[in-house]
Amino acid sequence: MEPRLPLPPYTFETAAQKVRMAEDAWNSRDPDRVVKVYTEDTRWRNRAEFPTARDEVHAFLVRKWAKELDYRLIKELWAFDGNRIAVRFVYEWHDDSGHWFRSHGNENWQFNELGYMEQRHASINDRPIHESERLFHWPLGPRPVDHPGLSALGL
């Protein structure tokens, strides 16, 4: 496997870079792209689901983005040490009935020496919002560089 830069041990700059790369990948809503950053035997906890290995993660992501429509995500570095990064995130989405939600969460990531994520532990809470309360209005895809992050938005 080719190394996935940046590699651990992480500095503030390289951890923040890894977080933004993950945010951009998830905002693509492309399971084929997203799963490439995980080890073949990756282990996850996402809410009450525990996918293991890339194929299960891929199936999870397909289900996720079929349900969470017009998904837009912002991640923010919370802490880092060695080969681990902690992230807080918020994303907005709507269901097939047009009901909007803002999902708040935290993730703990562990990487192998080649920079692939071995473990991802996510805790997420969903809050219904009115469409008028939305804060993430950029076109689908990566968040624009000049769009405020979570702290600047007061989230």
Please list, in sequence order, all residues whose beta carbon lies within 8 angstroms of the beta carbon of residue 108, skipping any fewer than 6 positions away. Answer: 84, 85, 86, 87, 119, 120, 121
Domain range holding 18?
A: 12-138
- Let me know if residue 143 belongs to a domain: no
CA–CA distance, 121 with 44 (Å, rounded to integer):
6
Given a cut of 50, the residues of the chain with pLDDT beneath it are none
- Let me know if residue 152 belongs to a domain: no
- Let me know if residue 91 belongs to a domain: yes
| Residues 6 and 115 sit within 8 Å (Cβ to Cβ) | yes
- Let me know if residue 22 belongs to a domain: yes
- Let me know if residue 154 belongs to a domain: no
Query: Residue 38 belongs to a domain with what CATH number?
Result: 3.10.450.50
- Let me know if residue 27 belongs to a domain: yes
Q: What was the pLDDT predicted at 1?
A: 87
CA–CA distance, 72 with 98 (Å, rounded to integer):
15
Structure tokens at 21: 């790369």
What total number of domains does the chain contain? 1
- Let me know if residue 61 belongs to a domain: yes
| Residues 39 and 116 sit within 8 Å (Cβ to Cβ) | yes
